[in-house]
C-alpha cells in the first residue's frame, strides 16, 4: 500500500509541476524515478523513454505506466498514470469554467488576438525540430509533404493518413526483406 501511495505522489508531483508536457517532464521523471527513488536504473529509464516514444499515446502517461507496471503491475501502472493526470485535468476544468465567463470582455479578446499567431508559431516550430530529429532527407521529404497536403488541402482524415503510413511501412519492409536480406535491419534506408 505504501508503494502505491509513493507512486501516486511521485507522479502527482511530476504532473502538477511541469508545464509543456512530455519533453519538459522527462528530466523531472528521471530525477525522481532514477535519482531519488531508485525505482529504475539509468538504462531501464532510457528504455522506458524509447518505448514511450514508439508507442501511441501521451509520452508522460506512457512513461508513468511503464514505471508503475515495473513496480506494482497493472494496478501500479493505473495509480501512476492517474497521479500524473489528476491535477492537469482538474486545473483545465477550473480554467474552462472560468474562461467562458471572461472570454467576451474586450481586453481578453485583444490578448487572444496577440496569442493566436504565437500558437501557430509554437506548432510550426516543432515541425522543423522533428524533421531534423527524424533525419529528413531529399529522398524522404515527400512523406511529410504528402501527408500535410492530403490533410490540409484534400481534407483527408489524419487517422486515415496514419493507417496508410502503417500499411506502406509494413509493405515496404516486406519488400526489402526479400531483396536485401544480407543487410542488417538498421542499415536500411526508407524510400517507399
What residues numbered 131-160 form the site for other proteins, per CB under 8 A? 131, 134, 136, 140, 143-152, 155, 157-159
Q: What is the H or E stretch that residue 86 is in?
A: helix 59-102
Angle CA(102)–CA(108)–CA(111) in degrees, nearest 5? 155
Q: Which residues contact 32 (CB under 8 A, 6 or more apart)?
A: 10, 13, 14
Q: Would you state the cell numbers that stand for residue 176, as one nine-digit string?
A: 526489402
CB of 27 or CB of 128, closer to other proteins: 128
Rounded CA gap, 123 and 127, in Å? 7
Out of 1, 2, 113, 138, the residue judged to bind other proteins by CB under 8 A = 113
**Residue 6 engages other proteins in binding (rule: CB under 8 A):** no
Which candidate, 76, 51, 50, places its Cα nearest to that of 65?
76
Out of 1, 2, 19, 138, the residue judged to bind other proteins by CB under 8 A = 19
Out of 96, 101, 104, 182, the residue judged to bind other proteins by CB under 8 A = 96
**Residue 102 engages other proteins in binding (rule: CB under 8 A):** no
For other proteins, how many residues bind (rule: CB under 8 A)?
A: 103
**Residue 91 engages other proteins in binding (rule: CB under 8 A):** yes
Phi, psi of 85 (to 5 degrees): -105, -10
* Smallest distance from other proteins to CB 8, Å: 15
CB atoms within 10 A of CB 185: 9
Which positions from 49 through 88 interact with other proteins, judged by CB under 8 A? Answer: 50-62, 65-66, 69, 74, 77, 81, 84-85, 87-88
Amino acid at each position: 500500500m505504501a508503494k502505491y501511495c509513493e507512486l501516486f505522489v511521485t507522479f502527482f508531483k511530476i504532473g502538477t509541476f511541469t508545464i509543456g508536457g512530455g519533453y519538459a517532464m522527462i528530466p523531472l521523471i528521471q530525477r525522481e524515478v532514477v535519482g531519488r527513488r531508485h525505482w529504475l536504473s539509468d538504462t531501464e529509464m532510457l528504455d522506458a523513454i524509447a518505448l514511450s516514444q514508439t508507442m501511441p499515446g501521451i509520452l508522460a502517461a506512457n512513461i508513468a505506466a511503464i514505471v508503475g507496471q515495473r513496480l506494482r503491475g497493472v494496478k501500479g501502472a493505473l495509480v501512476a498514470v492517474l497521479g500524473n493526470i489528476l491535477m492537469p485535468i482538474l486545473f483545465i476544468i477550473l480554467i474552462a469554467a472560468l474562461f467562458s465567463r471572461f472570454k467576451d470582455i474586450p481586453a481578453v479578446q485583444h490578448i487572444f488576438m496577440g496569442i493566436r499567431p504565437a500558437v501557430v508559431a509554437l506548432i510550426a516550430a516543432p515541425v522543423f525540430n522533428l524533421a531534423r530529429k527524424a533525419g529528413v532527407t531529399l529522398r524522404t521529404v515527400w512523406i511529410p509533404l504528402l501527408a500535410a497536403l492530403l490533410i490540409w488541402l484534400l481534407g483527408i482524415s489524419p487517422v486515415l493518413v496514419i493507417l496508410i503510413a502503417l500499411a506502406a511501412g509494413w509493405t515496404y519492409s516486406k519488400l526489402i526483406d526479400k531483396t536485401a536480406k544480407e543487410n542488417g535491419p538498421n542499415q536500411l534506408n526508407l524510400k517507399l
